[in-house]
Structure 1
Amino acid sequence: MSLRVLIADDQALIRAGLSALLRAAGLDVAGEAENGVQAVELAAALRPDVIVMDIRMPVLDGLDATERILAAAPGTRILVLTTFDLDEYVYRALAAGAAGFLLKETPPAAIVAAVHAVAAGDVLISPAVTQRLVETYALYHRRATADLAGLTARETEVLRLVAHGLSNAQIAARLVLSESTVKTHVKNLMGKLGLSSRAQAVVAGYESGLVVPGLLDRSD
């Protein structure tokens, strides 16, 4: 069954372009919203698999809309698509539970791929929006490491790899576990930490100090 997508953007031309792009790729565009309030209402009525969300919109911005939508339906996958790459926007979007953050300059094929990726449970940040933005901003919003005290050693290691941006399959390969076991660890650690999305787990890894800014090693 085709993925159902809701588009939220205050510019009619952008909405039309995204709708045409996604439909051409075989996706079902369930609806369009021109402000955050409409996005919240349509999300509740249509229950889309993925919402492509702009940030700066009238009445209610995309970040507040993201928080409201995910509070009501935590399983919704939200891909923020914006012209603004300010570090605070990236951090707030991920902390609110958005599954991804892309710039509107992203090539069309990459946008389609991103919709599929976040629908599959991955966290996606535009290459143009470097990990350093999240790292730097998290330094000023760090929580006590006691937040992780209830995790097992294996859950802590899985969280560290999630914060590095690794997928479940990559984590399974590195830890020599089955992918289903990794999914269970991710589900358990998110429950213990009160997180509603994998993106929030990424932020938690930085905020807690588990991942040290500047010391990421994709090969570890």
Structure 2
Amino acid sequence: MRILIVDDDALVCSSLKTILEAKNIQVDAIGNSGEEAIALYRQYQSDVLLMDIRMEKMNGVEASEAILKEFPQARILFLTTFSDDEYIVKALKLGVKGYILKQNFDSIVSALEAVYANQNVFNTEIIEKLPDLLNNRDTAKEQYDLNDREQQFISLVANGLNNKEIAETLFLSEGTVRNYLSNLLDKLGLRDRTQLAIFFYQHLK
């Protein structure tokens, strides 16, 4: 697994590099700004971009928007703090793979491994805040014509279950789950599981 680290705190960057390399994870490069994140991703197209949200000039959300526009399959994992609420909502709506608290270095390796496996990572402490952050409720059930089964499926995705776990819960094959997910994303005009989870907390929670 190849990683890019971008954070405007040099100490954080060096600490992360030490932690990851001790786990035999290759760090392609380190950057200190949103502009550098874009340039470095263009150069390396690493497996995962681990990036701070709050940076001067160009923040992580702005950099992610540019990167995902050019590289839609980019896997971006944010490092956040509890004061980053407004950025968190914007980041998730862009389709980043997730976010973890900067204070919790112990979870970084497992989070990166999950993102590398194309899973979404939601820090528990912050996910609990989403209903308050995403307070734009509407009659989504009627507006999008969602039946009970579809609402249950979206709820399972929002709670972090992977395809195998959803298949076991709903007594379906993994192939059926993949088709169901694809159809739901098309129906709701969403891009990926992250946006489907956000849809749940915004409209169905």
TM-score when normalising by structure 1: 0.82
Closer, same or farther: CA 164–127 of 1 in aligned 2, 3 Å: closer
Unaligned runs of 5+ in 1: 213-220
Code of the aligned partner of 1:100: G
Counterpart mapping for 1:101-120 below 5 A: 101-108=99-106, 110-120=107-117
Tell me the residue number matched to 1:161. 156
Structure 1 segments (4+ residues) deviating >4 Å: 151-156
- Residue-by-residue CA offset, 1:88-139 (whole Å, 9 max, x unaligned): 232222112121111111133x11000011121222222332x331111212
Contact 1:85 1:103 in 2 (8 A): no
The CA RMSD measured in Å over matched residues stands at 2.2
Distance 1:104 1:181, change over 3 A: same
Residue pairs, 1:1-220, within 5 angstroms:
3-108=1-106, 110-129=107-126, 131-140=127-136, 142=137, 145=140, 148-149=144-145, 155-207=150-202, 209=203, 211-212=204-205
* Amino acid in structure 2 at the alignment position of 1:177: L
Q: Which segments of 5 or more consecutive residues in structure 2 lack a partner in the other structure?
A: none
| In 2: Cα distance, 1:41 partner to 1:167 partner | 32
Q: Tell me the amino acid that sits aligned with residue 61 of structure 2.
A: L
Note the C-alpha offset of 1:73. Answer: 1.5
TM-score normalised to the size of structure 2?
0.88
Q: Which has the larger share of helix?
A: 2
Whole-angstrom CA distance in 1 between matches of 2:150 and 2:42: 33
How far is 1:156 from its partner? 4.6
Could you say what secondary structure the match of 1:161 adopts? helix
Q: Secondary structure at the match of 1:128?
A: helix
In the TM superposition, what is the alpha-carbon distance from 1:51 to its structure 2 partner? 0.8
Query: What is the CA-CA distance between 1:143 and the residue it aligns to?
Result: 5.5
Q: Is the 8 A contact 1:78 1:99 kept in 2?
A: yes
Contact preservation (8 Å) 2:54, 2:84: no
The 2-side partners of 1:98 and 1:132 are apart by 18
Please state whether the residue corresponding to 1:139 is helix, strand or coil: coil
Q: Give the letter aligned to residue 105 of structure 1.
A: Q
- Take 2:182 and 2:27, find their aligned partners in 1: how far apart are those partners? 29
What secondary structure is seen at the aligned counterpart in 2 of 1:23? Answer: helix
Quote the Cα distance in structure 2 between the aligned partners of 1:159 and 1:99. 17
